[in-house]
Homo-oligomer: A and B are copies of this chain.
Amino acid sequence: MKMVKNAAGRLVPTEVNGKPAVPFKGVGKHIPSGNKAAPMIESCVHYPADGDKRVPSIKEALKRCGIKDGMTLSSHHHFRNGDLVANQVFDAAAELGIKDLVWFPSASFPCHEPVIEHMKNGVVQRVEGSMNGPLGAYCSHGHMKGLGVLRSHGGRWQAIQDGEVHIDIAVIAAPTADPFGNATGDRGPSACGLLGFALADSMYADRVIIVTDNLVPFPCIPWQIHGNNVDFVVETDRIGIPEKIVSGTTRITRSPDRLLIAEMTARFIKEAGIMRDGFSFQSGAGGTSLAFAIFLRDMMKQAGVKARFIRAGSTKYQVEMLEQGLADFILDGQTFDLEGVRSMRENPNHINTSPFTSYNYHGKGNFASMMDVVALGATEVDTGFNANVVTHSDGMLLHGIGGWQNCLASKCTILPIPSFRDRIPVIVDKVTTLCGPGELIDVIVTERGIAINPRRQDLLDAVKDSDLPIRTIQEIKAEVESMCGKPSKLKLLDKVVAVVKWVDGTIIDSVYQVP
């Protein structure tokens, strides 16, 4: 494998899974050329005039799709750890004697551990997509035949749209669908909210299969997925485990340190003048993020400030803010709890978005760069404000990128993170895996103080008269190391097991095999 040093100083392969790869050139430096992927021209002649595209099973649908060795099959992750469909697809492929498939999920979860067996028996050659938990460990240990390719949600859209990844067959699990293939995620016994992560698949794949456990007469309204892009519809008993798809309640952190971090993040936004009428913010569904949203909500109420919109992964907290008039809209990319699902179904101001609208870097703009402020997690940050979100300090690949890289485009990107975890410092000399370049990360909020990127003199000026604990990142790092000790240098093997793509499709870093 030939390796070159990219613009971030990281060694990356020049070829990935047999195709040439472009090394990262710097933020905004790679200018794409050429044309988007062009799906085949279809004809109504080949589809039932009455619109009934049902076939009896996933196996039958795969056969009619012309499944062959080496094809790329895709799936979405809106069911998270409650997905019951992806494993069935590979079981069916195995029964059909198919080998060397590429699985291209929008993300994978521990429930997809059975795919490891299919990698061992040759049905699946590799996974291209985030690998959380056991699949990540399998890849980290060098067992996967091909290279893992980690992309952001926007990067996945970009890769499909630009023809870097050609999906032969997309299998879309849909909580409600009609026989024509119109489908929605916002209702049905396995409701997951929306199906935005499957939208590109439905538009660009050669063949599209809808799998549903809630068939309704045409038309399925809303049609988050257009039946006009669908080839076959399969009815099954159950496509997901509701309590693992969405939780009735989402848990706010109880850790005093995390609460402090959440509060300081909200205070920073207020003191820096970002929290003003008509502003926009985005945060996640983790315990600290939820606490942050609650602190921010209270400060907004107190100041009489209303947001124009909230970008979410929605939970009941964002929904409450919408319903209490603290925001005009929620622009939602995935729903994390039942209240999020209900709100999306019922409230016309709770809007279903996709990676196309929100994150695609190879479009005519996207929403991410319009955000006033985002709060994101990270596994590691270094003194250059570079951050890691996919590997742990031990080098293990355990997380996907999600929308994280895309969100860095915001006007103010904040990482509210603990300064150490399990006595391992989070602020390091050099991140194990580079996922986000430091020039895009503006503020690090820890329980030991707030570090502002020196590039953002405007933010330093904005809070200089506040009583926020503004410190340099070096100061915070030194303090943590005086407590936890400086971690010894990580020793990884030379073998590359996965690559991390930047939002423009270039390769920003490599992930190495762990010993």
Q: Which residues of A contact B (CB under 8 A)?
A: 28, 31-51, 53, 161-162, 180-181, 208, 217-219, 221-223, 226-231, 278, 308-309, 329, 331, 348-349, 351, 356-357, 360-367, 369-370, 409, 411, 504
Contacts and interface: CB of A to CB of B under 8 A. Distances in A.
A377 B32 CA distance: 49
A365 B47 contact: yes
Nearest to A49: B369
A230 B364 contact: yes
A31 B45 contact: yes
Chain A interface mostly: loop
A329 B49 CA distance: 20
Contact of A44 (B180, B227, B308, B369): B369
Contacts of A370: 49-51, 180, 218
Contacts of A222: 348, 351
A372 to B, nearest CB: 10
A219 B411 CA distance: 17
Given A32-B41, A349-B221, A351-B219, A228 B366 contact: yes
A363 B329 contact: no
For A35, A40, A45, A50, the residue with the greatest tally of chain B CB atoms inside 10 Å of its CB is A45
A361 B43 contact: yes
Contact of A53 (B360, B365, B367, B411): B365
A363 B44 contact: yes
A156 to B, nearest CB: 15
Given A33-B41, A41-B161, 5 more contacts: A34-B40, A51-B367, A219-B351, A228-B366, A230-B364
Contacts of A223: 357
A229 B364 contact: yes
Contacts of A33: 41
Given A31-B43, A41-B33, A50-B370, A365 B227 contact: yes
A30 to B, nearest CB: 8
Contacts of A329: 219, 221
B362 A41 contact: yes
A513 B329 CA distance: 55
B49 A228 contact: no
B504 A43 contact: yes
B38 A36 contact: yes
Contact of A41 (B35, B218, B228, B409): B35
Contacts of A162: 41
Nearest to A351: B221
A41 B45 contact: no
Contacts of A369: 44, 49-51
A61 to B, nearest CB: 14
A205 B369 CA distance: 24
Nearest to A27: B45
